[in-house]
A = this chain, B = another copy of it.
Amino acid sequence: MESEIASATLKALRRVLRAAEGGTRRLAATTGLTPSQLLVLREIDGGEDVTPGVVAQRLQFSHATITAIVDRLVALDLVTRARSDRDKRRMLLEATSEGRRRLVEAPDMLQEIFSVRFSALPAWEQAMILAGTERLADILGVGDMDAAPLLDAGPIDRS
């Protein structure tokens, strides 16, 4: 027994997911990168002392997958690998200037939309959307990304 309002919300949520999805794709297309490559490149550029392990954890991919994707990014001269001095087991990943350029050239679509369309809305509507989206995120039960990068521990099992 599902209320009318709940199913309407789910429907809207699906639209949101679909739109976000499409955005990532179009974005990847414009950069010449695959979505996964783009995600990894962003993670690398977005943090300090980024290692393959950190990226894997953040994106919920296996280490082997990250290695393969970083291989490609290095081959494309978008990323460099260097051993850490402090702990020689670790590889430090950094975006090259070309890598950063690509990210700048193909900015986050969601962010774009928000800086344009969202800010065109009246304040009360912005507030309503913010409140609704935050509550929605709460309901779906994922903690704050900054605070808890690890809550979501469900790697895919393909056995």
The residues in A between 32 and 48 inclusive whose CB is less than 8 angstroms from any CB of B are 32, 34-36
Residues from chain B with a CB closer than 8 A to the CB of A15 are 137, 140, 142, 144-145, 148
Q: Are A135 and B145 in contact (CB-based, < 8 A)?
A: no
- State the copy count for this chain: 2
Q: Are A19 and B140 in contact (CB-based, < 8 A)?
A: yes
Q: Does A113 contact B (CB under 8 A)?
A: yes
Binding site for B on A (CB under 8 A): 2-3, 5-23, 25-26, 28-29, 32, 34-36, 60, 110-111, 113-115, 117-119, 121, 123, 125-137, 139-142, 144-145, 148, 150-159
Q: For A16, A127, A141, which residue has the most chain B Cβ atoms within 10 angstroms?
A: A16
Residues from chain B with a CB closer than 8 A to the CB of A135 are 121, 125, 128-129, 132
